[in-house]
Structure 1
C-alpha cells in the first residue's frame, strides 16, 4: 500500500484558496469575473484559484459557467501563476446532483476545449462518508479515461461541510493507496463552516457562525495524517482585516496555513500573513494581552497606561492594573523576562539556522542563542537578556516558516520581486539555501 503521508504533488503549502463566480447573470459578458481573476498576478494572485460553479454561481447559470471556465482557462490559464481547481456541484445524498457534477467535469476536462492542460484538479463540495469520497474519485477517474488523460493527473480536493465528512477524514489514511481507488489524487481538505453549521444544527444567539476550532483542528490533523494540505473556510466580514489576520494566526498555531479568500484584498493579506516578518519585534504581556513595543533608538518602549514603572532609592515599583509591587533589580528583570517575548524576523530565523548548521558541522549537538533588549517603561530602562537552547528539534521547528518561504519562492516566481523588496535580495538568497 502507498504511504499515505507521501505527497503526490509539488506544493506543500497553500496560503490562499480564492473562489470566483463562473457566470454572472444579467451581464453582457457573464464570464467577466473569471476574466478579472485570471489576470491577477504577484502577491494579489492566489496559490489556488477556484472557478466556483457551485455556491458562488446561480443554479440557472451553471451550465454556462462550465463553458465559461473552458473559454477563460483555455485563453488565460497558461499565464496564471497559481493552480486552477474548479469547484463543481456534488452532494452526498443526491445522485442527481452528483450526476450534474460529473457532467460539469466532463465538459471542463474535454481536451477539445483547451482548458484541461491548465487545470490541476477539481474541488468537490458537500461530501459525506468515505464511500462518497470514493464516488467522487471514481467520477474523476472516468473523466480521465474518457478524455485520454493520465490516470491521477487531476487532483481532488474536498470541502468538509458535514459531520460525515469530518469523520471520514479519520478513514482517509487507511483508504489512500488501496488498489480499489485513486484517492492518492487527494490534495486539499477545505473547511466549509456555513454548511457544517447547518448540518450540525448549531445555533448562536446572534445567528453568527460558531468559531468551530474543533473542526479546524480536526481538518489540520486529518491533512497531516494523510499527507494533504488543510485550508480554513471563508471569513465573511471582508472589511474586518484584523479579524481575518487573527483567524489566520489561530489557524497557524494548529498547523493550518491556508485560508479561503473571498476578495483579491483578502488574497493579498492571506498571501503575506504566514511569511516571516521583515523586522523582528518585542511583545509585552499587559493585562493578559500582548502589546507590540515601539523600537526607538535601540530601546523597546512601552507607551501604554496599563503598566507603569518607577525607581525608588533601592529598587523599583511596578504597577499593573490595581496591583503595585516593590521589586529589586533582579526581581524586576525576572518579572519582565516572564512578560516579554520576541517575534523573529526572516533574517533572525536565517541567522539562527545558519549558526546552528555551523555548530552541527563542528560536532555540537546544542548551542545557546541569546536574545537581548533594552526595555523602557515610563522613562525607566531595564536591560533584558534570555538564552534559548537550540538542538535538532528546535532547528526543525524553526525551519517550518523557512520551508514555507522556499515553497512559495519555488512555485510563485511571479512574487520574486515583491519578496526581494520585502526582505532584501541578500536575505532572500540565504533563505532559499538554508535548511536540510
Structure 2
C-alpha cells in the first residue's frame, strides 16, 4: 500500500446532509442538526450535500446555508467537512455551477473556509475530467489567497469511465501539470453506476457490484488514497449494514456512506476491534458465536452434537455421525472453530512479539486454547500460531485504525475508554510506535 497523502489514515464514516430543505421555515435545519453531532454519532467526514440530496431549485440557497452554518459552528465540529457540489462529466453548465458554488463557499468574507477541508465531486468521467475538477480547485485557491493544495478533492465513482480512470492515477499524480495530489477519498456511487452500466435485476434492486468495491479499494491503495463504499439505503436493516461493512473490510475498504446518525454509530464502531474476544463454530456454513460460561465456550444448538464413548467420541454434524479418537476430534474441532481476538488480545500478542524481537527472536509461537461444551460433553482444544514480522504488520492494521481514530477524534475518547478500559487504550496507543 502506498503511503497516505493526507493526515487521516482511515475514514470510517461519510455522512451526507441536504443543504436546503424546501418548505421549511429554516431551510438549513438539517445542516444545523448535523453540525451538532458529537462522539460516535459524529462522522469522520461530514458532507453537506448540495447535489442529489438537495433539490436543484434550492442549491443556490444551499450554498449560502453551508457558509452560514459552517462559519457559525464549524470550529467545534469534530470531523472533517467536505461539501458536495454539482458536477457532471458531460455537462459544462453543471461543472460551471459547481465551480461557482465552490467560489462562494470558500470566500474568506463568509468565514466558512477555515473550517472546510475539501469538496466532493460527483459524476466524474475519465482522468481528463478529474483534471478539470482539480484545475477548478486550484483557481478557487488562487482566487481567495489559499495555499495551493489546501482543499482536498474527493470523487464519487459513478461511471465506467471513472472506474477505469482509477488505473491512471499512479501515472498522473505528481505531474507538474496538475494538482491531483489533493485527492483524498474515492467513494462508490452504486446507483448512478448501475444506471451508467445499463444494469438490470429482476427485482429492480441494485446489483451488489463486488467488482466495483474491489476496484475502488485497489485504486485507493495504489494511489495512497482512502476508499469509501456507497450508501446502504435499507436504513432499518442493521444486520445487512453490518454484513456489508464486514465484507468491505475484508477488501480493505474501511469506510462506508452513512445516511442516518444511527448508521454513523454502526459504521464508526464496526471496524474497531471488539471489546471481548469470542469463539465461533462453523455450523452448516454459518459461523455461530459461542456463549461463554465460566471460561467454557458453549454450543447449545441441534446441528452439532458430541458424546463421549469411553476413550472415543461420537460427533454428529448435520446428518453425518463419525466416531473419532481424541486426537482426531481435536483436529476436527480446530477446523470447525475460529477465534475473534479482542483489542486486549491483539495488544497482548503485539507486545509479546515486540519483546521477542528485542531479544533477537524473529518468530514465536502464540498459543490459543479453550474448553468447548457441545451438548453435555466438554473437550479442550488448543492451537499454536506462528508470529513473524509479516503477522505482526497484519495485526497492526486494526491497531493503526484505532490510533488514527484516537488521535483525530478526541470527542470519542470517553466512549473508547468505556469500551476498552483506560489501560488497554493506553497500551494500544504505544504498540507499533
After TM superposition, the score normalised by the length of structure 1 is: 0.99
Please say if 1:90 is aligned against 2:75: no
1:407 maps to which residue? 404
Displacement of 1:9 after TM fit?
1.4
1:379 maps to which residue? 376
Local SS of the residue matching 2:53: coil
Unaligned 5+ runs, structure 2: none
Displacement of 1:8 after TM fit?
2.9
Displacement of 1:5 after TM fit?
3.4
Mapping of 1:346-361 within 5 angstroms?
346-361=343-358
Unaligned 5+ runs, structure 1: none
2:255 maps to which residue? 258
2:246 maps to which residue? 249
CA distance in 2 between counterparts of 1:5 and 1:187 reads: 13
CA distance in 2 between counterparts of 1:334 and 1:7 reads: 42
Displacement of 1:402 after TM fit?
0.2
CA distance in 2 between counterparts of 1:358 and 1:319 reads: 43
1:215 maps to which residue? 212
2:337 maps to which residue? 340
1:190 to 187, 190, 201: 187
Displacement of 1:7 after TM fit?
3.0
Displacement of 1:305 after TM fit?
1.1
1:206 maps to which residue? 203
Q: Deviations over 1:23-62 (max 9, x none)?
A: 0000000000000000000010000000000000000000
Q: Deviations over 1:329-352 (max 9, x none)?
A: 111111001111100000000000
After TM superposition, the score normalised by the length of structure 2 is: 0.99
Mapping of 1:9-408 within 5 angstroms?
9-408=6-405
CA distance in 1 between counterparts of 2:288 and 2:220 reads: 33
Displacement of 1:233 after TM fit?
0.2
**1:345 to 1:6, Cα distance in 2 relative to 1, 3 A:** closer
CA distance in 2 between counterparts of 1:275 and 1:5 reads: 22
Q: Deviations over 1:90-117 (max 9, x none)?
A: 0000001000010010110100000000
CA distance in 1 between counterparts of 2:20 and 2:123 reads: 21
Local SS of the residue matching 2:164: helix
CA distance in 2 between counterparts of 1:125 and 1:109 reads: 19
CA distance in 1 between counterparts of 2:107 and 2:376 reads: 70
Q: Deviations over 1:168-220 (max 9, x none)?
A: 00001110010000000000000000000000011111100000000000000
Q: Deviations over 1:360-381 (max 9, x none)?
A: 0000000000000000000100
Q: Deviations over 1:147-173 (max 9, x none)?
A: 111110100000000000000000011
CA distance in 2 between counterparts of 1:13 and 1:6 reads: 12
CA distance in 2 between counterparts of 1:74 and 1:8 reads: 27
CA distance in 2 between counterparts of 1:328 and 1:408 reads: 48
Displacement of 1:224 after TM fit?
0.3
Displacement of 1:243 after TM fit?
0.5
Local SS of the residue matching 1:137: helix
Aligned residues: 433
- Root-mean-square deviation (CA, aligned residues, Å) is 0.8
Local SS of the residue matching 1:325: strand
Local SS of the residue matching 1:56: coil
CA distance in 1 between counterparts of 2:158 and 2:297 reads: 46
Bigger mean CA offset, 422-431 vs 309-318: 309-318
CA distance in 2 between counterparts of 1:311 and 1:413 reads: 54
Local SS of the residue matching 2:51: coil
Local SS of the residue matching 1:282: strand
CA distance in 2 between counterparts of 1:387 and 1:82 reads: 41
Local SS of the residue matching 1:433: coil
CA distance in 1 between counterparts of 2:376 and 2:36 reads: 52
CA distance in 2 between counterparts of 1:279 and 1:297 reads: 14
Displacement of 1:6 after TM fit?
4.2
CA distance in 1 between counterparts of 2:223 and 2:111 reads: 32
Q: Deviations over 1:108-143 (max 9, x none)?
A: 010000000000000000000000000000011101
CA distance in 1 between counterparts of 2:336 and 2:91 reads: 55
